[in-house]
Structure formats: C-alpha cells, structure tokens
Amino acid sequence: MPTLEEMANKGYTKAKAKDENIKKLWATAKERCISNYAKIEGFGPIRKANHAAAVRAASHRTDWDKWKENWKAAMSM
C-alpha cells in the first residue's frame, strides 16, 4: 500500500502534467461562461457586464504545491 506522501506525489505529478491543458480549457470556456451567465434571469445589465469583465480579466492559475499540502492535510484527518 502506498504511503500518503507517495499518493500525494503521484497526484502532484499527474496534475502538473495536465496543467497546460487545464489553462487552455479555462481560456476556451470563458466566453461560454459569460454567455450562460447572461441567460440567467433576474440579474441586471450592470451585474452581467461586471461579471463578463471579471471573467475576461481573470487568468487561470494553479498552485500544485499548495494543492499537495492541502490534499495531505485533508486525507490525514
């Protein structure tokens, strides 16, 4: 049976390998996110415009070291 550290390292390695693809998927999903939010009834034009601007300005960032530490802490509870 692998240790918690070995499992965390395996997850970390797999996540790091997928990082560039995750960033590309995030970038391609931005406009879909904006258009789906725009379809929600009840939010006014200012709220929708603010949401669109925030999504367009956002960049996807990953911190796999933080993920690894948080994962180990959660699994050891």
| Predicted local confidence at residue 26, as pLDDT | 93
Q: What are the boundaries of each domain within the chain? A: 4-75
Q: Pick from 11, 24, 21, 26: which is nearest to 64 by CA?
A: 11
Q: How far apart are CA 30 and CA 37, in angstroms?
A: 11
- Between 46 and 61, the more confident residue is 46
| Predicted local confidence at residue 60, as pLDDT | 87
pLDDT in tens, 50-77: 999 999 999 888 999 999 999 999 999 9
pLDDT in tens, 14-40: 999 999 999 999 999 999 999 999 999
Q: Pick from 64, 77, 51, 66: which is nearest to 22 by CA?
A: 64
